[in-house]
Structures are given as C-alpha cells and as structure tokens.
C-alpha cells in the first residue's frame, strides 16, 4: 500500500453528530526506532511488545458545523480538565492527517482523554494517546463509509497514528508489532505497523514488563529533537544496519525460544539507543544514577539465579524489566525487595504483553 491508498473516495453516508471512544495501549520497543526521515518515515525498522495495562482512553464527540469550514475546531480535556497546553500537538496532528481525513474541518470536536498510568510518570503517553485518537477519527470515517473493510480500518489507523507519533503506529494491534520495511518480514512497511506473523515460541507468551519509575521529571531533550540529531550522526549508518540485523536475529530467536540470545539483543538495543544520545552533537544523557544501579543489579541477579530477567529503556531514565511469565514469582519478589528503592516514591507499574486497542462501548 502507498500513501495514496489512504486518501478516501467521496463518502457514501452523512453523519451529523455522535461520539466514539477507544482505549489504546502503550508499547515497548525491543528493536528501537531512533532517527527518521521526512513525513515520519523511520530510518530503520523496529519491533515492540504491545502492553496491556498502560493505556489511554480517548473519546471523541463530533458535531457537524453549519457554517463554511475554514479551520479545525476542537476542545481538549485531559483527565476531566481543559488542557490547552496539548493544543499545538493536536493541531499539528490534524494538519498532517487532513489529506487523508478530508472531513476534519467540517466538524466541531471535543476530545476527552485519560491515562491508566500516573500523570507525569515519565511513561510515554504519545504512543497510546495518538493511537487512541487515530482510532476515534477512523470510527467516524467508518460511519461516513459504512462499507469500509476491517483490514483497511486497522491499517489506516496505524498509518494516521504514525503521523502523530512514530511509535504510536505500533499500538493498534498486539502482541508483537513491526514497523519499518525489513527484507525478511512479510508485509512490513514504513507507513504503518503490522503484526509479526511468524512463529513465536511459547517462552514469549504473556511476557512480563515491570516498569520502574526512576525519574518522573520532564525530559531534558524530547524524542523529536533526539530523532533529528541522528541526521548527521557519525554512527548513524552503522546503527541503522544493526537494527536490520537485530530484527533478523530476533526472528530466529522468536522461533527457537532462546532467552539468552533474546536478552543479548534487547539489552544491546537499549544501550545502543542511549549511546546514540551520548554521541550526538550536541550530546545528552537521559539515564540517571538509579538507572545504572538497576541495570547492575539485573546483571548480578541473572548471574546468581540463572533466571532471564533483562532490561530495556525508552528515551528516558525509567527502566522496563522484561521477563518470562513462568519466572514471574521469583523475579517479582526480587524486584520488590531489591529494586523499588531506586524508584521515585517507590513507584512501579506491573504490565505484560497485550492484544492491542479496544473500542469502548458507549451507553
């Protein structure tokens, strides 16, 4: 599919007003997206586990305008309160997606959104937030085009979510999602995320992710700026090639169930991501002393127990602890006893792999 396939034909139905609501999860990348080209095209392919508990719920009320539509018309509420500070981000999203949703200026929208995870926890809400919003707009488009096929609905939702925030395109479906063209992954595309359809060993079923909230403060450098710094990064080409190779290796690992090899790829990806930050110009550092303390404790735990706990990082100081479901008792006991001391206010979130976004039925 190309971008043009997402430009709709004239709609067959008329819709005056209504409301739709979606709940969409966050995701955690195993191979990281870091670096992009024009129009949110990723510089390398990535793969993520869709999460289950970290979710954004968004509802969209729409009312057809009587007068000639000249601009976008929307109001935003976050956790019940009016949130004008989110306006520029949403305005930009609407501008980017308008060629694909030509009805946007014809309606007045009220967008209400809330997260299942604590506000300012440093948990990226752009993936869950942008995917939930994209799905809401697609539900409206489906009312305008009742014949729309399910596959198109899902693909286009991911395509639109990507234009809001790259990683958001991996939050529509579960359980493993690939985004970015890769030679040996069937149907992979730079334009949207696709579920990883190869064989996956049962070791990876219901994989756990305990998120340690190390630092809840504002990030010193946003992801968007970080991506841009990959443009003339001295190691960029090598890094992008490595991501392709890591996906090849992961494909084999998912088949074989080899957890030791899985850990090598996942931790290398996390440290490479932060190495890219530390070696860009200007360089920056998002890990905190407690991030490193946790990583060292994870290494030691693995050495002492032979269990398969590993870590990954996003663009921040928080640590995602990944481990197999059948090791959860001992692992969680260790996390609670030894690692919560490194979290701000002892805060952590228990999550696991999930199946993707769900429409919320309105009463």
Structure tokens at 178: 């690939």
**DSSP state string for 100-126:** G-TTGGGEEEEEEEEESSPTTSS---H
Pick the piece of the chain touching ligand DP6 (CB under 6 A) from 12-20, 62-70, 163-171, 255-263: 163-171
Question: Is position 351 an interface residue for ligand DP6 (rule: CB under 6 A)?
Answer: no
Q: Which two tokens stand for residue 115?
A: 């997260």
CB closer to ligand DP6 out of 238 and 326: 238
The DSSP H or E segment spanning 331 is: helix 328-334
Q: Does 32 bind ligand DP6 (CB under 6 A)?
A: yes
- Nearest-10 crossing angle of helices 150-164, 87-97: 130
Contact 30, 48 (CB under 8 A): yes
Cis peptide before 282 (omega within 30 of 0): yes
Q: Which of 35, 314, 321, 348 binds ligand DP6 (CB under 6 A)?
A: 314
Please count the residues of the chain: 363
DSSP state of 360: P
Q: List Cβ neighbours of 119 (8 Å cut-off, separation of 6 or more).
A: 79
Q: Which is nearer to ligand DP6, 58 or 165 (CB)?
A: 165
Stretch that binds ligand DP6, among 145-153, 219-227, 249-257, 329-337 (CB under 6 A): 219-227
Asked if 33 touches ligand DP6 (CB under 6 A), the answer is yes
Distance from C-alpha of 245 to C-alpha of 45, rounded to nearest angstrom: 10
- Binding of ligand DP6 at residue 166 (CB under 6 A)? yes
CA pair distance 337, 19, nearest whole angstrom: 46
Q: Which residues from 101-140 bind ligand DP6, rule CB under 6 A?
A: 124, 126
List, in sequence order, every residue forming a beta bridge with 302; answer none if it has no partner: none
Is 26 near ligand DP6 (CB under 6 A)?
no
Query: Considering only CA atoms, which of 16, 100, 13, 12 is closest in space to residue 61?
Result: 16
- Which residues are registered as beta bridge partners of 319? 212, 313
224 binds ligand DP6 (CB under 6 A): yes
Binding mask 35-54 toward ligand DP6 (x if CB under 6 A, else -) reads -----x-----x--------
* Residue 171 sits in the site that holds ligand DP6 (CB under 6 A): no
Q: Does 209 bind ligand DP6 (CB under 6 A)?
A: no
Tell me which residue has its CB nearest to ligand DP6. Answer: 166
Q: Does 215 bind ligand DP6 (CB under 6 A)?
A: no
Question: Between 230 and 269, how does the x/- string for binding to ligand DP6 read (CB under 6 A)?
Answer: ----------------------------------------
Cβ burial 58-84 (10 Å sphere, 16+ → b, else e): bbbbbeeeeeeeeebbbebebeeeebe
Q: Does 167 bind ligand DP6 (CB under 6 A)?
A: yes
**315 sits near ligand DP6 (criterion: CB under 6 A):** yes
Tokens for 235? 């190691």
Please list every residue from 264 through 293 that binds ligand DP6, using CB under 6 A. 273
Please select the residue that binds ligand DP6; options are 165, 203, 291, 344, rule is CB under 6 A: 165
Q: Which is nearer to ligand DP6, 172 or 315 (CB)?
A: 315
Number of residues that bind ligand DP6 (CB under 6 A): 17
Among 223, 280, 318, 344, binds ligand DP6 (CB under 6 A): 223
Q: Does 193 bind ligand DP6 (CB under 6 A)?
A: no
Helix (H), strand (E) counts: the chain: 8, 14
Positions touching ligand DP6 (CB under 6 A) are: 29, 32-34, 40, 46, 124, 126, 165-167, 223-224, 227, 273, 314-315
């Amino acid at each position: 599919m190309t971008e043009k396939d997402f430009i709709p034909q004239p709609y067959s139905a008329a819709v005056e007003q209504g409301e739709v609501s979606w709940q969409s999860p966050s995701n955690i990348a195993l191979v990281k997206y870091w670096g992009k080209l024009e129009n949110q095209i990723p510089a390398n392919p990535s793969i993520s586990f869709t999460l289950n508990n970290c979710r954004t719920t968004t509802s969209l009320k729409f009312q057809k305008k009587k007068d000639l539509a000249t601009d976008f018309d929307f109001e935003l509420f976050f956790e019940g309160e009016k949130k004008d500070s989110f306006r520029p981000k949403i305005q930009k999203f609407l501008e980017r997606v308008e060629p694909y949703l030509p009805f946007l200026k014809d309606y007045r929208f009220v967008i209400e959104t809330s997260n299942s995870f604590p506000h300012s926890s440093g948990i990226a809400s752009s993936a869950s937030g942008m995917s939930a919003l994209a799905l809401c707009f697609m539900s409206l488009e489906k009312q305008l085009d009742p014949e729309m096929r399910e596959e198109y609905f899902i693909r286009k939702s991911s395509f639109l979510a990507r234009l809001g925030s790259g990683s958001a395109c991996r939050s529509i479906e579960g359980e493993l999602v690939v985004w970015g063209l890769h030679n040996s992954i069937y149907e992979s595309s730079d334009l949207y995320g696709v579920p990883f359809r190869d064989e996956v060993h049962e070791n990876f079923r219901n994989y756990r992710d305990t998120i340690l909230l190390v630092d809840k403060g504002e990030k010193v450098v946003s992801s968007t700026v970080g991506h841009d710094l990959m443009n003339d990064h001295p190691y960029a080409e090598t890094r992008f090639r490595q991501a392709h190779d890591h996906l090849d290796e992961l494909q084999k690992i998912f088949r074989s169930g080899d957890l030791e090899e899985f850990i090598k790829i996942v931790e290398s990806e996390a440290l490479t991501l932060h190495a890219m930050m530390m070696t860009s110009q200007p360089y920056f550092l998002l890990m905190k002393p407690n991030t490193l303390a946790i990583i060292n404790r994870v290494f030691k735990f693995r050495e002492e127990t032979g269990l398969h706990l590993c870590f990954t990082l996003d663009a921040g100081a928080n640590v995602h602890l990944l481990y197999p479901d059948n090791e959860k008792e001992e692992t969680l006991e260790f996390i609670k006893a030894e690692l919560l001391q490194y979290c701000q206010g002892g805060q952590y979130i228990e999550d696991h792999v999930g199946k993707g976004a769900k429409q919320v039925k309105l009463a």
